[in-house]
Amino acid sequence: MLTSTLQYLSRWILPLLLLGPVAKGIAADDVIERPQVRAGDSWTYRQTSLITRNSGDFSYRVTGVGADRIKTVSDGFSDLYTTDWNLIESSAGIKIAPHEGYFQFPLEPGKTYAFKSERTVARMRTPWEGTVTVADWETIDVPAGRFRALRVDINGSFGHGPPARRARLQLSYWWSTDVKRWVRYDLWMSKPASKATDFNTRTELVQYAPAS
């Protein structure tokens, strides 16, 4: 349980402490509409630190779908998302108001928008903000196979005060309609005024199991 807890914290809470084959997918000129998930859908991912090369697997399983919410369980923790897959809160001890704001469906190349939220962890509130750019379709390989996926780039910062005092944030997601979710997620973070990379991970899809 300790190992799974540490893996979970590295995905959600640790950043706050930093203050050949035919590709799968839809045609490159199509957009990705909001995924329609069902209770029982599950995804297994492998997260690798690009600094230490340590890795570990974790899974998400949908436990409920409402008109505007998706409930999941991961490593014993329950999470609540919008139907656009923006995190709202987790039983691990994080709340985001109003939500992450990273995804606004439909997604299509060239689309841009801003996000702004406030994360609360252990009574510490931290503002996050930045810009999202939907890039283009790419063919990528992950442990689950080869996919044609739409890349979504996120650039922002979090913390209080002027830009020089805020931590920097860069994320990229690769979304595939074949799995109703992203198949790869790269995360890079740096402490305020730091020229070094302080947190850098790659998370890749290992298995997708639709509800039976």
Higher pLDDT, 76 or 202: 202
Q: CB–CB of 183/149 below 8 Å?
A: yes
Average pLDDT of the segment spanning 174-199:
87
Q: Please report, in angstroms and rounded to a whole number, the separation of the first and last CA atoms in the chain.
A: 28
| pLDDT on residue 162 | 84
Q: CB–CB of 157/132 below 8 Å?
A: no
Mean of per-residue pLDDT scores for the chain: 88
Any residues with CB less than 8 A from the CB of 165 and at least 6 apart, and which?
159, 192, 193
| pLDDT on residue 51 | 86
Q: Tokens 């801003």 appear where?
A: 114
Amino acid at 149: A
User: Up-side HSE of residue 184: CA atoms within 13 Å toward CB?
Assistant: 21
Higher pLDDT, 195 or 134: 134
| pLDDT on residue 3 | 47
Q: Mean pLDDT lowest for which of 3-17, 118-132, 176-190?
A: 3-17
| pLDDT on residue 23 | 44
β-bridge mates for residue 121, sequence order: 94, 124
The string of pLDDT tens digits covering residues 130-166 is 999 999 999 999 999 999 999 999 999 999 888 778 8
The string of pLDDT tens digits covering residues 26-53 is 454 589 999 999 999 999 999 999 889 9
If pLDDT is split at 50, 70 and 90, which confidence band does 5 have? very low
If pLDDT is split at 50, 70 and 90, which confidence band does 191 have? confident
The string of pLDDT tens digits covering residues 104-133 is 999 999 999 999 999 999 889 999 999 999
